Structures are given as C-alpha cells and as structure tokens.
Structure 1
Amino acid sequence: MLGARSLEEEMAQSQSGNRQVNPLFARPGEETTYSRTVLQDDAMLPETAYQLVHDEVMLDGNARLNLATFVGTWMGPYAEKLYSETFDKNMIDKDEYPATAAIEDRCWRIVADLWNAPDPDNAIGTSTIGSSEACMLAGLAFKRRWQNARKAAGKPAAQPNLVMSSAVQVVWEKFCNYWDVEARYVPISEEHKTLDGHDLDKYVDENTIGVVVIMGVTYTGMYEPVTKVAAALDEIQKSTGLDIPIHVDGASGGMVAPFLQEDLEWDFRVERVHSINTSGHKYGLVYPGLGWVIWRSRDLLPDDLVFYVSYLGGDMPTFALNFSRPGAQVLLQYFNFLRLGRTGYREVQQASQDTAKHLADGIAKHGAFELWNDGSDIPVFAWRLKQDFTDKWTLYDLSDRLRMYGWQVPAYPMPDDLADLTVQRIVVRNGLSIDLADKLLGDIADATKDLESLPAPIPHAVAKRGFHH
C-alpha cells in the first residue's frame, strides 16, 4: 500500500528516537514534566501535544454546570460542524470573504428589525468581539457627537460625563477610564432596585454625553425601565433644554425581550434611544466571541469615527477597536437565525425562563433565603440569606460547598449603597433542564443542611469578595 511502512522500519525509527509507535502516556512530554513558561527546543507529536492540553483543561470543570456565566456553552452538532469548517475566516477581510461580509450585513439588519428600528434600511450596525467592544463603540459615538455639537456651538468640549446605574457592568467603568469620561453613578437601593429615572436631574448637565440603561443587570438580571428613564429625560429637556440620548446595554436582554416581552417598549420604539448593543454569545445562543451594536439611524454614528482602509485587496469602511477577528461566530449567528426563527428563539428563551422561575420558586420555599428577583425578566435571579437566619455560615460558604457538587453559583456584594448586602445569583442558559434544576435544588438543600449542622461558625479570613462578572 502506498505510504505503508514495514514493522522493521517502525522499530528502527522507534529505536532511533522516534516515539510515534510508543504508547501515548509513555511518550516524551507525557512521561516527563515540561516547562510551562519557556518554549522547548524539540518538537513533539501532534497527538501528544493535543493530549497534554486536553488533559489540563479537564480541570476547568463542566461548563454546563457553570451558573455564573451568561456566555453560551452549547450549540449542537451542526453548529459545531459549521464552526470547524469556517474558523479560518477573518471578519475584517471583507474583500477576501465577501459572502461572510454579506452575512454580517444581513445579521445586523435582522437585529435592527428585532429592535424595531423605524427604518432598518437607514440604520447602521456592526458585529464586534462581544458586548464590551460594542459598548465602547456606542460610548465613543456619544462622546464624539457631544464634542462636535459643543464645538459647533462655540462651547468648550471638555469634561464629558456619562450617567448610569451603580450596578452597571464593568465595561462602562472601563470606557470612562480609557476615554477620559467622568462616570456618574446613580446608586441603587432597596427602594430603587434599578436605574428608574429617580433623581436623574441631579446627575445630568450640559456635559452629559448620554445615559446608559441596562436590559438585564449583571448583578440580578433585572430590566431597567427604559421608558421611565426616557420620561425623566423628557422632563429635564423641558426645564433645561438639554437633549440627552440613551444607550441601551442589552448584552443579555437584547436577545430575550423581543421574544418573551414583545409588548415591552425598551428599544428603538423609544425615540430617545440612539443605540443598542447585545452579546450574540449570550442569549443570542452563539459560542463566545460575538457582539452586535446598532444605531437607530446613520447620522447618529459620526462619519469621522469611520475609517476607510485600503487593505487586503479592497477599500473598506471599518468602525472597530479590533482589526482581525473571527468570522465564524457571525456565521453561527446566521445559522441560529435560520435554524430557529422567531418561534425557535421564543421556545428556547421560554424554556430557560421556565427553568429560572422553577429554581427561584424552589429557593423562595427554602427557609434560609429571600429572593431579590424571580427571573421574570431575563432567566436570571438572585437571592440573599434571611436576616438573622444563621451565624454559622454565609452565602460565600454555600457557594464553596456547591462547588464540591460541581456547580458554580457565585456569591458577591451588591454595589455602593448596598455594599453590605451579599447575594447569590443563578444564570439559566440553554441546556439547563428542569431535571438538572431539581438536582441543583436538592444539592442546595443538602449543602445548607450540612452547614447548619456545624458545631460552630465558619471562620472567615476575608469578609467580602469581589463581584464576579
């Protein structure tokens, strides 16, 4: 047979140092340790290198049991096949990959339509690495429009500020830090669990470039009421003349609300909303590495932020913080749009919400806990330990105990005015069944029973841990 070798040739190569026929775990690399921080001089067989990496990441745990992350962990065999066939495509090479570029254009137009853009043909959007990049781009558009307007009016364009909830995701803190924008946080409280327009006039002024409203707060999963915030800004405009736009951070809710809360006005139906972002890799149901940002109309994205680059065989416009980036996730998003349609997305999101409400109901019935919210917005909810229930353990201890069962259920302090309050949160994603949810409720019951049986309180070297985004 062409390419076949005799047994004598195999043995000779093995004796001369070629371990290709040796048992896998007796080969160099598997039988000895290797440096993890210095590139080795010698090569190793591809299957050996694969096995080393494969075995090490087994320590990461089961992604399906990670109830901390919003990011998708399952897509199915056809999506995985498409992924493996297209992972070499570079989204920035629009001239080289025109079909992929055309699909990207279709995807953001589909999203613009989902978000009720008044004229989808006059909207503008782009894919991004994730919501973090999408938020940065939306924030930059706010800042540049404000700067241009100030200069046109002969006013100083310094000291811009951005107003948002104290429960905002860390990307907005980064935006303000990186781009020299003052962050103004409206604190949430027991009375005002989200940014709902209260006292907004105390935070905005002529230097405010915009207000961020969150559809699916990272801490709790709750929607912030866009219409209430817009109404508050309408009143401010009547009294001061300040016309302040809204950006909706729909990282999670942007792909839930169109299917589960169709009548809720949060998107481009609210005229003050200039731009919206979402994560395709969250409830868009795509693997990690994809976001979307849409502007209501082209004039809301300043032309001087768009670069026209002659590169890779074509002249192309680009508005991005990243240059080369994967195109496969865009194709996976289109696959989902084709595969699921509105009905399929509704069924998937409804199943996740049903599971979230089932879990929340089980937590509420447990004598130790009190719900902060019940998962009726996005399929996410949080709870706290009832006051004076126990002095033996905290939610941090429960989180650690659940890790012994394989579950990742984070505990963390709430922001600012609620920093003394610790909550625990569950994110339900596609793939967490009611059966698994019942297993989790059973494990929570067993864990709390074990903690309560301790003869003395658990000592805590660290009283408070940082929030896990």
Structure 2
Amino acid sequence: MPDSVESDDIFAMAGLRHTAPKGDFPATEMYPTVAYQVVHDELMLDGVSRMNLATFCTTWVDDQARRLMNESLDKNIVDKDEYPQTAELERRCVRMIADLWHSPDAATTLGTSTTGSSEAAMLGGLAAKFRWRKRGGKGVPNFVCGPVQVCWEKFARYFDVEIRQVPLRGDRLTMHPDDIARYVDENTIMVVPTFGQTFTGLFEDVAGISKALDDIQAKTGLDIPIHVDAASGGFLAPFCAPEVVWDFRLPRVKSINASGHKTGLAPLGAGWAIWREAADLPEDLIFDVDYLGGSMATFNLNFSRPGSQVITQYYDFIRLGRTGYSRVQEQIYRVSQHLAKGLRELGHFEMIHDGDPKRGITAVSWFLKDPDAGFNLYDLSDRLRTRGWLIAAYPLPADRQDETIMRAVLRHGFSIDIIDLLLCDVQRSIEQLQRNPRSKPLTKAEAGGFTHNATAKVPSKTVKARS
C-alpha cells in the first residue's frame, strides 16, 4: 500500500498515534470511530459493574429497556409542553407509586421524578422546613435521624438545618423509638427513619417511631411529622414484606423518597418524591415556568434532565406489575440469604443482616468474629478486588466507630451461581491471607472506599441527647 494512503486499520490511524487529550481542550478533531475506541479502551480499566456489591444502583437492564433509553435520549422531561406523553408517563408513575405506598388518595397525591433519592430526600426535607416555617417556626430548624446516607448531611449544611443524629448505643445498629423523645423540640421539622439503612441494610422501625411521636404529642402538644427515606426499601417491602407498616398507612408519614434506580429496577438517574396529600407539599416550593412553550409547574432542584429514565421506569411498572416485582424481588432475597448462609458456614463471620425481608433490604452485612483471625475485613475486601469483586468494608457510625463491618448489596442480575463463585473466592482469599499474613493489616485509608455514603468526606456531626 502506498505511503500516501492511510491504513484503514483503526489502530494505525492518526488519532491513536499519541496519547489521548487529558488537559487542555483539544485543538484538532478525530474520526468518531477513533474517539470511540479511545474512550472504550480507557473504560476497560473500570471495575465490572455487575460484580460491584458495594453499590445499591441498578447494574442490569433488559434489551427493551435499553432500546427505550436510546430512543428517548433527547427528551428533556422538564419540557412538558413539547413532550406531553413523557409528562403523562411521569404522572402515571407518581400515581402508581402513591398507590403502592397506600396514599389516602393516589389520584390526587403530588409527587415528582428526580435524578435519584438524594434529590428526592432534599425535596422532602425542604417541604418539611417550609411547613414548619408556615406554622410560625422560629429559631434554627432541626431534624432527627439515625445513621444516614450523606445526602442528609448535605441537606443540613446546604439548607441551614441542624441535623440531630442519634448515636448507636449498646448493641443497637439503628435508631429506636425510645431514642426520639430526647432529641425533638419545638424546632424539629421532621424525624427521618431510614427504611433500608445504608450501613447495614436494616429497616428502622417506622411504625414504632410514629407511635413514639404520638406519645410525645399527647404529652407536649408537639406534632412532628415523619419523612421516610425509603431509598432502597420502598420498592421491596410492598412486594416481599407487605405486613410491615412503614408508609402512608401511618398518618404521621407526610412524605417518602425512593430510588427508582435501586430496587425500583430502573436505570441510573431515576428517583421519586411522593407526598401523602397535596397539602403536604407547600405551594411556595412550586414554580410555574412559561418559557418552554407552555406554562408548567416544577418543584425539582434540577431543571433540564433526561426523560428516558422515567420512561423506562414506567416500562418496568407495566411489564412486571405486582406479580412480576414480587417474583423478581423474592428471588433477590433468596440470593441474599444464600450468600448469608454460605458466609456463616465459613465460620469467620457474625451476621448483622442475613437478607430477611422483614428486617431489611436485599443485602447482607457481617462482623469478623475473631480479631486474631489473621486478617481483617479491609484485608479481605482488598483481596477480593483482585478477583474483580467490590465489597464495602467500613467502620460503623458513632458511637461504635471502633467496629468494622462488611456489606454486600444484592441486586437484580445476581444468581445463585454467581454467589457460589463469590463464596469460593471469599474462602480462597481467607486461605491466602492466613497463609501469607500481612505484617501490618490494612487500615480504612489504605483499603480505600467503595461506597458513596460510608466513605464520604463530608464530616458527620452526631448530636448528643438533650438532658
């Protein structure tokens, strides 16, 4: 081939004869195939998302969902005048979720899609703050919670609200109903139980906390609402533990947030905020905009965002229905319990959450029984990474920060066979660590973190109980 004719082999093309742009904005263009190959090859260095047991987010979707995502990439969900049917699918999802969570009147309940449960949680918190202010609240507003995902610390900091985080005590791993009275006062805008705690996977007792607040109101007159952070549990309990009362069946629950892109099975970028009744969402939070072609209401923190995740969430709802969601979620619980059983049989671990659907989400968490086992959980987590498995190890929240646990989140796409492969690698890793112990066990800082919550760099402030 003459020198003047460029080879048609992609790896001989000009764009791949030098390193990819990494700093200054590129001066020249590339062929699309070359640019694609550069990005594609670099992404091979990422972990395999299906083997990431630290994340709560969806890592498997079917071909039809991928087609819908691709077909609706260019739809901006905020532009309801231009894309009225996308807006209609969002309204249907809100009504369906309100019905799932036992809203008194699902047809009139207000709610919205969001980019995830963090945005939805902040909307629930803002609504509670605005309701408190409308009631004449003065001073610094506060909310009470147990060990929470970092979005609540962000909410407190960004929106000037004091977070009163109940520390763990004794053998407790969640906020308990008898903790509440010592932390609430006339400036408490809400109590936030976590229905599927990020640290352990356990459900907090929403019904018990509601009863404790009823008792407080009877004694003091304080009428304190509940916002439930059901980021992970909101799409599990309705199908697998319907007898657990945590949602709008409790009149004190005014709002709920959940992630569609976690146990809702939607792709990344889907969350939901739902209010019990229209009156629970203050009108001051709703904006009417008319510069996209028609007047429309919006009450999100984000403005322009893709409609594809909501479209795909609606697809999931109508494809599976209650029967299908129950079947899928029950299988994930079976996979979780299989992992817990296998870990228990290895003899090194004490289970915190074993995948019981009445106690928590589709996750397994555990302690190391013997501190002299020849390895710690950071060592094990690090060793499993060599086989591609990402499993989080981290300290518990205050006041049990000297204890380290490990947590695996099981999601749609995990099978018994995959878990058997994982268990073989856990056993192999333990044997290798015991045969070749480190001179100094890994620390949290050396091991690195795999989650967006337990390893976050936002400082947590735990408030002690009032005397």
The CA deviation at 1:298 is 0.4
1:270 partner letter: L
Contact 2:115 2:269 in 1 (8 A): yes
> What secondary structure is seen at the aligned counterpart in 2 of 1:121?
coil
In structure 2, the partner of 1:458 is: 440
The CA deviation at 1:40 is 1.6
In structure 2, the partner of 1:220 is: 200
TM-score by length of 2: 0.93
Larger Cα Rg: Structure 1 or Structure 2?
1
Contact 2:394 2:404 in 1 (8 A): yes
Return the alpha-carbon distance in structure 1 between the equivalents of residues 220 and 441 of structure 2.
Answer: 54
- The 1:403–1:467 alpha-carbon spacing in structure 2 relative to 1, beyond 3 Å, is closer
1:281 is the counterpart of 2:261: yes
Match of 1:428 among 405, 410, 431: 410
> What secondary structure is seen at the aligned counterpart in 2 of 1:242?
coil
Return the alpha-carbon distance in structure 1 between the equivalents of residues 21 and 44 of structure 2.
Answer: 19
In structure 2, the partner of 1:291 is: 271
1:92 is the counterpart of 2:78: yes
> What secondary structure is seen at the aligned counterpart in 2 of 1:361?
helix
The CA deviation at 1:39 is 1.7
Match of 2:184 among 188, 204, 207: 204
1:381 is the counterpart of 2:367: no
TM-score by length of 1: 0.93
Contact 2:232 2:361 in 1 (8 A): yes
Return the alpha-carbon distance in structure 1 between the equivalents of residues 442 and 413 of structure 2.
Answer: 35
Deviations 1:186-211 (A, max 9, x none): 11234322112123111000000000
1:332 is the counterpart of 2:332: no
In structure 2, the partner of 1:410 is: 392
In structure 2, the partner of 1:31 is: 17
Match of 1:180 among 160, 163, 173: 160
What is the CA RMSD across the aligned residues, in angstroms?
1.6
The CA deviation at 1:373 is 1.4
Match of 1:248 among 228, 231, 241: 228
The CA deviation at 1:372 is 1.2
- The 1:65–1:159 alpha-carbon spacing in structure 2 relative to 1, beyond 3 Å, is same
- The 1:453–1:176 alpha-carbon spacing in structure 2 relative to 1, beyond 3 Å, is same
Return the alpha-carbon distance in structure 2 between the equivalents of residues 461 and 192 of structure 1.
Answer: 24
Return the alpha-carbon distance in structure 1 between the equivalents of residues 138 and 296 of structure 2.
Answer: 30
> What secondary structure is seen at the aligned counterpart in 1 of 2:189?
strand
1:132 is the counterpart of 2:118: yes
In structure 1, the partner of 2:55 is: 69
> What secondary structure is seen at the aligned counterpart in 1 of 2:193?
strand
1:296 partner letter: R
1:50 partner letter: Y
1:432 partner letter: F
In structure 2, the partner of 1:8 is: none
1:258 partner letter: P
Match of 2:333 among 353, 357, 376: 353
Return the alpha-carbon distance in structure 1 between the equivalents of residues 442 and 343 of structure 2.
Answer: 25
Match of 2:420 among 434, 438, 447: 438
The CA deviation at 1:458 is 3.2
Residue pairs, 1:17-56, within 5 angstroms: 19=6, 22-56=8-42
Task: Show structure 1 runs of 4+ deviating over 4 A.
Answer: 461-467
Return the alpha-carbon distance in structure 2 between the equivalents of residues 63 and 207 of structure 1.
Answer: 43
Aligned-residue sequence identity (percent) comes to 50
- The 1:462–1:429 alpha-carbon spacing in structure 2 relative to 1, beyond 3 Å, is closer
> What secondary structure is seen at the aligned counterpart in 2 of 1:286?
coil
Deviations 1:422-466 (A, max 9, x none): 001000001110000001011000100111112564344667866
1:78 is the counterpart of 2:64: yes
2:273 partner letter: V
Return the alpha-carbon distance in structure 2 between the equivalents of residues 270 and 315 of structure 1.
Answer: 35
Q: Mind listing any 5+ residue stretches in structure 2 that lack a counterpart?
A: 454-467
- The 1:45–1:224 alpha-carbon spacing in structure 2 relative to 1, beyond 3 Å, is same
- The 1:461–1:264 alpha-carbon spacing in structure 2 relative to 1, beyond 3 Å, is closer
2:395 partner letter: P
In structure 2, the partner of 1:5 is: none
1:393 partner letter: F
